[in-house]
Amino acid sequence: MADAKAQGSPPDPGAGGRGFGWTTFVAGVVVGAFIGACIALLVAPARGMVVRRRLRRRASELGERAGEGIREGIDDAAYRARRDLSRRRRRWKARLERLAENARESFTDPM
């Protein structure tokens, strides 16, 4: 290990620090789901057609739930963005009004 560092080889991205990235995690989940589905089909007590129908129904339900969660997340993000923009607009408007008032006062006040 010390020889590799002494020779100037690049550090191992998986050693310490952040570890594995999101793409590795997602790939692991997909591979795990595929292996699990294969094992479930091999040891299932029901006929293949019945199991496939159940899996299709369950996948459809999960897809709908995921879509609902995504829509709720988008709605929440849009609400927060609108609220933040409205707050910023009010602040800028107040600042501009103060600047305009200061400018009016500076023109009307004789030195």
Q: What span, in angstroms and rounded, lies between the C-alpha atoms of 106 and 100?
A: 10
Domain boundaries, the chain: 22-84
Dihedral sign, Cα of residue 97, residue 101, residue 107, residue 108: positive
Give me the tens of pLDDT residue by residue for the chain, a chain 111 residues long: 445 444 554 444 544 445 568 788 888 899 999 898 888 777 767 677 887 888 889 989 988 998 998 999 999 999 999 999 999 999 999 999 999 999 888 887 665
Q: Specify the amino acid at residue 74.
A: I
